[in-house]
């Protein structure tokens, strides 16, 4: 994936309502913001006014939750038109959504549900992603989801499935590190092995978030600090995929802007530390893939 | 269903949808399932969690995500009913009106309609009016952005164009006819006060947006007549004549019309048609 198509944005946070005023009026330092696309799919009013103001000063990316790329229903053309219109208007660095299904039979569950990992589902999803990319006139990213169930019908591992869909659709991957960790616990697999199975050339962005330990399973809540295990896995992801643009996701019990910004700084410092360590290793003869080492550009306003 | 999708995928998703939205949870739905679905043959369970327990996580998430969204959209309705009754209400509502839109913004669009058919009206006869007002506030908040008609735009209208002038409401302007003073309940709850006893008094309420903020108030009788005529597409001259017919002092008519017009323009309830 080229740097022109997916620019090196740096470290960002999600654009959330409690921070609107601070972002608009104080313009705090932040490389970029990720918006939840559906929150801005209104016809007008305050949300779009806010987005206009944010976009004037920061790069944004659009992250959707309702594309339902794996649904058995036809693609929602109305939703796609709205997505295309929003994309044209706000010129995000890229557009992403999840590799999942969110509803069927014209009904919406407002949740991200896993798919059976089969060749048929790979073809089904990849074909639909290609349609979306055609409508938007650009490649999109698909994100690996957190999940609590797997199907007996699956014929491959999740990482293999994500990789196969991305290859066949010719799209990028938004790698959610927390989701990998959550799933590795919920479904008993090795999280680093999962990352090893992904094609480095497809990884464009990372997500970092917190989860809750519910005893028998981990719940992806986005309302907690990032766990040490997820930070460690982030280190491993940076080693393997380079300094991809990284987003701190926090959706509930949202901390102050400065606290979230500090988490983004922490991610930056860890990633740079890993890269510098790798550089030393590289000069001493140990080769490690470092694709995204140029991804340290400052904010680029619209 | 999409004819291109593998039938197995469509069947799997239809089954899971049915289990996840079942009001009493997955286990209950399976127990009452005429097909005696063996979920363990579909979802991989293990010693930590059965297949049903895993599906149950999605069932809980579905309900509570929507419940939380609707609590946020209908704070006054929630305050009046209390958490337990609101919970029960939403359980029934989601069966009657399951979400179909990609955005949660639309999840509560039919709550007032649901109240219209609900026995809860016996206990809270004003609850449908209240939900309708709260929904109108959301619709106004997210309505399309068009320029409003302001004083400067009106002053530019040539005198000979005034009689045939047809005003149009901005998309963020909404009206509702309520049988109760539910606006007082919404106002009290917004100020973190206890919801007052609803007063049975038929009122017309106008909701509008100005500077990205949503406002509401009851309209006075003569104003209601004028606004109704505007909504019907009447010309300005006809509106003035209708209003004037109800005023005893002929000299007071221009002042009355001017007062209404200035208020409407300052609130920004009309669409600037030349800029739209």
- Is the Cβ pair A149, B100 closer than 8 Å? no
Q: Between residues B24 and A2, which one has the greater pLDDT? A: B24
B231 part of contact set with chain A, CB < 8 Å: no
Query: Which residues span the domain enclosing A173?
Result: 11-283
A217 part of contact set with chain B, CB < 8 Å: yes
Q: Residue A296: inside a domain, yes or no?
A: no
Query: Which residues span the domain enclosing B230?
Result: 127-267
* CATH code at position A142: 3.20.20.150
How many folded domains does chain B comprise?
1
Q: Residue B273: inside a domain, yes or no?
A: no
B212 part of contact set with chain A, CB < 8 Å: yes
Percent of chain B at pLDDT > 90 equals 86
Per-residue burial over A223-236, b if 16 or more Cβ lie within 10 Å, else e, is bbebbebbbebbbb
Contacts 24+ apart (CB under 8 A), A34-37: A34/A60, A34/A61, A34/A62, A34/A63, A34/A247, A34/A249, A35/A60, A35/A61, A35/A62, A35/A63, A35/A92, A36/A63, A36/A64, A36/A65, A37/A62, A37/A63, A37/A64, A37/A65, A37/A66, A37/A83, A37/A86, A37/A95, A37/A97
3 state DSSP class of B82: coil
- Is the Cβ pair B13, A71 closer than 8 Å? yes
Q: What is the ipTM of this complex?
A: 0.90
A124 part of contact set with chain B, CB < 8 Å: yes
How many angstroms separate the CA of residue B117 from the nearest CA in chain A?
Answer: 22
Confidence band of B6 (pLDDT split at 50, 70, 90)? low
Among candidate residues A253, A206, A215, A258, the one with its CA nearest the CA of residue A234: A206
How far apart are the C-alpha atoms of A176 and A99, rounded to whole Å? 12
A223 part of contact set with chain B, CB < 8 Å: no
Partner-chain residue, chosen from B21, B49, B171, that has the shortest CB–CB distance to A216: B49
Reading chain A (302 residues) residue by residue, the pLDDT tens digits are 767 899 999 999 999 999 999 999 999 999 999 999 999 998 889 899 999 999 999 999 999 999 999 999 999 999 999 999 999 999 999 999 999 999 999 999 999 999 999 999 999 999 999 999 999 999 999 999 999 999 999 999 999 999 999 999 999 999 999 999 999 999 999 999 999 999 999 999 999 999 999 999 999 999 999 999 999 999 999 999 999 999 999 999 999 999 999 999 999 999 999 877 776 655 554 433 333 332 223 333 34
Report the pLDDT value the prediction gives residue A289, as an integer from 0 to 100: 35
- Chain A and chain B share a number of CB contacts under 8 A equal to 151
The residue of B3, B11, B13, B174 whose CB has the most chain A CBs within 10 angstroms, and thus the best one to mutate to test that interface, is: B13
Q: Nearest-CA residue of chain B relative to A215?
A: B48
Q: Residue A59: inside a domain, yes or no?
A: yes
**pLDDT of residue B5 exceeding 70:** no
Which chain B residues touch A151 with a CB distance below 8 Å? 12, 42-44
- Is the Cβ pair A107, B17 closer than 8 Å? yes
Q: Residue B202: inside a domain, yes or no?
A: yes
Which chain A residues touch B144 with a CB distance below 8 Å? 43-44
| CA distances (Å), origin B85, targets A18, B21, B23, B71, B76 | 29, 19, 15, 12, 13
Report the pLDDT value the prediction gives residue B34, as an integer from 0 to 100: 65
Chain B residues 162-181 within an 8 A CB cutoff of chain A: 171-172
Report the pLDDT value the prediction gives residue B60, as an integer from 0 to 100: 95
Q: Nearest-CA residue of chain B relative to A74?
A: B2
How many folded domains does chain A comprise?
1
- Is the Cβ pair A124, B41 closer than 8 Å? no
Q: Residue B200: inside a domain, yes or no?
A: yes
Q: Residue B53: inside a domain, yes or no?
A: no
How far apart are the C-alpha atoms of B105 and B102, rounded to whole Å? 9
How far apart are the C-alpha atoms of A89 and A136, rounded to whole Å? 12
Chain A residues 247-286 within an 8 A CB cutoff of chain B: none
B10 part of contact set with chain A, CB < 8 Å: yes
Q: Nearest-CA residue of chain B relative to A101?
A: B13
Q: Nearest-CA residue of chain A relative to B14?
A: A104
């Amino acid at each position: 994936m080229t740097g022109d198509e997916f620019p090196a944005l740096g470290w960002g946070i999600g654009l959330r309502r409690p921070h609107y005023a601070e972002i608009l009026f104080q313009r705090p330092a932040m490389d970029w913001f990720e918006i939840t696309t559906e929150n801005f799919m209104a016809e007008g009013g305050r949300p779009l006014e806010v987005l206009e103001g944010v976009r004037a000063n920061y790069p944004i990316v659009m992250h959707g939750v309702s594309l339902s790329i794996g649904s058995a229903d036809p693609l929602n053309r109305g939703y796609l038109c709205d997505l295309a219109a929003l994309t044209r208007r706000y010129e995000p660095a890229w557009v992403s959504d999840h590799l999942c299904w969110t509803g069927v039979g014209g009904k919406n569950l407002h949740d991200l549900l896993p798919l059976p990992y089969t060749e048929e589902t790979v073809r089904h999803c990849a074909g639909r992603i290609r349609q979306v990319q055609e409508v938007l006139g650009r490649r999109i990213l698909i994100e690996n989801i957190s999940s609590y169930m797997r199907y007996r019908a699956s014929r491959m591992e999740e990482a293999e499935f994500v990789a196969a869909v991305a290859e066949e659709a010719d799209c990028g991957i938004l790698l959610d590190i927390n989701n990998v960790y959550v799933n590795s616990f919920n479904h008993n697999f090795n999280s680093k092995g999962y990352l090893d199975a992904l094609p480095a050339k497809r990884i464009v962005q990372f997500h970092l978030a917190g989860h809750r330990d519910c005893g028998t399973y981990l719940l992806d809540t986005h309302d907690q600090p990032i766990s040490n295990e997820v930070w460690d896995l982030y280190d491993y992801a940076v080693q393997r995929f380079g300094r991809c643009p990284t987003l701190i996701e926090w959706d509930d019990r949202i901390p102050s802007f400065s606290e979230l910004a500090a988490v983004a700084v922490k991610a930056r410092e860890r990633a740079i530390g890993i890269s510098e360590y790798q550089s030393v290793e590289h000069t001493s003869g140990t080769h490690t893939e470092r694709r995204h080492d140029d991804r340290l550009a400052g904010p680029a306003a619209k | 269903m999409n004819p291109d999708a593998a039938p197995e995928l469509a069947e799997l998703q239809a089954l899971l949808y049915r289990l996840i939205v079942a009001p009493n949870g997955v286990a209950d739905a399976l127990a009452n399932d005429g097909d005696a679905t063996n979920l363990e043959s579909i979802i991989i369970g293990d010693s930590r969690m059965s297949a049903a327990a895993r599906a149950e996580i999605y069932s809980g998430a579905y309900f509570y995500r929507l419940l939380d969204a609707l609590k946020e959209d209908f704070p006054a309705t929630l305050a009046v009913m209390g958490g337990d009754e609101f919970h029960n209400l939403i359980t029934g509502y989601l069966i009657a009106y399951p979400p179909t839109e990609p955005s949660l913004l639309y999840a509560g669009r039919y709550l007032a309609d649901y109240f219209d058919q609900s026995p809860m009206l016996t206990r809270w006869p004003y609850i449908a009016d209240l939900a309708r007002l709260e929904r109108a506030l959301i619709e106004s908040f997210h309505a399309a952005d068009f320029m409003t008609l302001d004083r400067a735009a009106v002053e530019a209208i040539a005198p000979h164009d005034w009689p045939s002038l047809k005003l149009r409401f901005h998309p963020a302007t909404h009206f509702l006819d309520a049988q109760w003073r539910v606006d007082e309940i919404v106002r009290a709850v917004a100020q973190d006060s206890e919801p007052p006893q609803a007063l049975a008094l038929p009122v017309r309420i106008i909701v509008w947006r100005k500077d990205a903020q949503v406002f509401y108030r009851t309209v006075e009788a003569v104003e209601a007549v004028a606004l109704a005529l505007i909504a019907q597409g009447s010309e300005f001259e006809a509106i003035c004549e209708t209003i004037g017919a109800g005023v005893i002092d002929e000299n007071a008519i221009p002042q009355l019309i001017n007062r209404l017009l200035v208020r409407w323009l300052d609130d920004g309830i009309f669409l600037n048609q030349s800029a739209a």
